[in-house]
A and B are shown apart, each in its own frame.
Chain A
Amino acid sequence: MQPTHAHAASHQSQQSHSHHHIVPFKVNMAVGITLLVLTAVTVWIAQFDFGAMNMIVAMTVATVKAGLVVAYFMHLRYDNRFFLTMLLVCLIALTVFIVFTMIDQKSRTSIYDYEMQEIRKNAKMYEKKGLTAPKDATPAKH
């Protein structure tokens, strides 16, 4: 194809403005109202104690809300798919970051025989279980 043809084709498509997807008013309002309803659901559901499920339930509702904002308000549903791919790569990286930190957090006590203690001013590392103070150490103030 000649470059001139390509140019002609490109500004024909540009004149039609087909690349600007306009989200209908009704869709915008529906998403807004759904977000407000889901906020009420989050508050209402927090009264009940599901134990360990509390966090999972609240995060699920929050993620549904976030999904609506990203898809409709931020136009990701209508935009170039590459943006969605970028977002997913970022979220996967974040998930790896948090999950691996939590694996460490949850399994630490099975490796070391001491647990996190209350923070005190001038606390010394050797005060941890099984360590003795070096000879020249000044005693820690409690």
Chain B
Amino acid sequence: MNGVTNLAATDRRPETPLELHAENHHSPYQAHHFTDMAQQFDAAKMGMWLFLLTEILLFGGLFCAYAVYSTEHAAMFHSAHKMLDWKMGALNTVVLITSSLTVALAIRSIQLNQRKAAIWLLVVTIACAAIFLVVKYFEYSHKIHLGLLPGNFYHYDGSEGVIIGNNPHIYFGIYFAMTGLHGLHVVIGMIVLGWVLLRLIKGEFNSEYYTPVELGGLYWHLVDLIWIYLFPLLYLIG
């Protein structure tokens, strides 16, 4: 009886995915339509890059609007940009660059199988994203309080310095559209990195498979990239 079951066990053909993977001597993480893990990883990254390029073009439309209106109303843009607090913008730049560094280090840690370090670095990254949003909240509420708003909502009385030139609401329209869309990306980035963090805590990633960490990181770096251009354009030059 015992011998029969043993025979059956050894003769049994591999059935479960894990057994099939082991049978073919490749990683359990590899899908069968890929030649190897490297090809699978590259395919995932290419998909993410394609998405990031559409994001660059999405923001590109707003950068184009900025270019058109800032040349049309150069003096007004220069005057209106002084209403923004460059110190807040600089603080947020430092916060985002720090978060970009920590997410890059988190990817490095998981590549080296240092899961605990990766978890803490991702926690710092998400905390930085939260700090960014808090700073942005203070900036926005001050603008809303003063009435420095887009279009019809503009009702600034000049209490913190007069804006020279016509149609200053155009500047604030562009300011809120660009930083608002960017802020939305920060929120989405927090959600994506939070999901990656949860899976990391569950132990789903290691040096062999960490594709979601890499792709989440790429998305976060794009958020940083956009801000690198937004900061001088809106806060420093006007």
Contact residues of A: prevailing secondary structure: helix
B residues whose Cβ falls under 8 Å from a Cβ of A: 25-27, 30, 35-38, 41-42, 45-46, 49-50, 53, 56-57, 60, 63-64, 67-68, 71-72, 86, 90, 93-94, 97-98, 100-101, 103-105, 108, 111-112, 166-167, 207-208, 217-218, 221, 224-225, 228-229, 231-233, 236-237
Alpha-carbon distance A125/B187, docked complex (angstroms):
41
Contact residues of B: prevailing secondary structure: helix
A residues whose Cβ falls under 8 Å from a Cβ of B: 10-11, 13-14, 17, 19-20, 22-23, 25, 28-29, 31-32, 35-36, 39, 42-43, 46, 54-55, 58-59, 61-62, 65-66, 69-70, 72-74, 79-80, 82-83, 86-87, 90-91, 93-94, 97-98, 101-102, 105-106, 116, 118-119
What are 27 A-B pairs with beta-carbon distances under 8 A?
Answer: A14-B26, A14-B30, A14-B36, A14-B38, A17-B208, A19-B42, A25-B105, A28-B108, A32-B98, A32-B100, A32-B101, A35-B97, A39-B90, A39-B231, A43-B86, A46-B232, A58-B232, A73-B217, A73-B224, A74-B217, A80-B46, A83-B49, A94-B56, A98-B63, A101-B64, A102-B71, A116-B72
Across the interface, do A119 and B167 meet the contact criterion of CB distance under 8 Å? yes
Residue in contact with A58 in the complex, picked from B25, B86, B225, B237, CB distance below 8 Å:
B237
